[in-house]
Amino acid sequence: MPNPTAAMLVIGDEILSGRTRDSNMYFLAGELNKLGVDLKEVRVVSDEADAIVAAVTDLSNGYDHVFTSGGIGPTHDDITADCIARAFGVAIDVRADARAILEEHYAKTGAELNEARLRMARIPDGATLIDNPVSRAPGFTLNNVHVMAGVPAVFQAMVATVLATLAGGQPLLSQTLRVDRGEGEIAAILSALAEKYSDLSIGCYPFQINGAFGANVVVRGTEGARLDAAMTELARDLGL
C-alpha cells in the first residue's frame, strides 16, 4: 500500500514579506518522513480569507492530511479558524472545553482572560481539539485538516500530539554520495539510473568549494535493499 499523503499550508503575511523565516516546514517534513507520511506539497498564503479558504479546500481534497501553521492567535489578523469553518461550511463559536483550558491557564498565571484571548477558544463545529502543552491555547482538527499555531515551539508540540494519532506507512530512507565532478559530467549516468530505479527518487544537488564544482547525489526510497543496490551501481558507474 502507498504511504498516506500530506500537504502543508503556511499562513501569514510575515512569511511572504520576508520578515519571518519559516522553520515549521522543515520540522514537519522530518517528522512525517519518520512516520511514513509523504509530504507532497507546501503552500504559503497571505492573511486573506479568500486565499486561505481556497487553499484549504484544494489541499483537503487532494491529500490525506493537511497541516496548517499560523493565524490562530488573539489578534485581529488571526483568521485561520474562521476560514477553516467557512471552508467546510460549519459554524464557529467559543467552545466550552476550549474556554475551560484557557480559564485554567490564565488563572494560574494571574493574567486576565480578556476578549482578545477568548478568541483562541473559538472552535469550528465538529472539530477535535489539539493539545498545546506550551501555551495551552488549543489547535484543532476538522476532517483531514490539522490547524496549529505558527510559533515554532507550539507548532512542534502540536505536531507531536497529532502524529501520535495517525497511521503512517513506510519511513522514507535516504543515502547520499558526494561526487567531485560537475553536474554536466554525471547527468547521463544519473538519467540512466533514474530510469532503471523508477521506484526511487534520485536528486542531484550541486555545490562549489574553492572554485571546484561537485554534487551530492541523494537517493530516497522506502526499501533499504533497493537503495543499497542503486548506490552500489551508481558508485561503480562513476568509477568510485
pLDDT tens digits for range 62-119: 999 999 999 999 998 899 999 999 999 999 999 999 999 999 999 999 999 999 999 9
Look at residue 95 in the predicted model and tell me its pLDDT. 95
Round to whole Å and give the CA distance between 100 and 88. 25
Distance of CA 39 to the CA centre of its chain: 7
Q: Would the pLDDT of 236 be above 90?
A: yes
Look at residue 77 in the predicted model and tell me its pLDDT. 86
Helices and strands, counts by H and E, the chain = 9, 11
Under DSSP, is residue 22 helix (H, G, I), strand (E, B) or coil? Answer: coil
Look at residue 8 in the predicted model and tell me its pLDDT. 98
Same fold, 5-164 and 173-238: no
Look at residue 240 in the predicted model and tell me its pLDDT. 86
Pairing type for strands 122-124 and 173-179 reads unpaired
pLDDT mean over 28-36? 94
Look at residue 27 in the predicted model and tell me its pLDDT. 96
Look at residue 31 in the predicted model and tell me its pLDDT. 96
Name the superfamily (CATH) of residues 173-238.
Ribosomal protein S10 (3.30.70.600)
Look at residue 50 in the predicted model and tell me its pLDDT. 97
* Second CATH level (architecture) for the domain 5-164: 3-Layer(aba) Sandwich (3.40)
pLDDT tens digits for range 172-219: 899 999 999 999 999 999 999 999 999 999 999 999 998 899 999 999
Domain extents for the chain? Answer: 5-164, 173-238
Average pLDDT in the chain: 94
CA angle 125, 49, 41 (to 5 degrees): 90
Under DSSP, is residue 42 helix (H, G, I), strand (E, B) or coil? Answer: strand
Q: Would the pLDDT of 125 be above 80?
A: yes
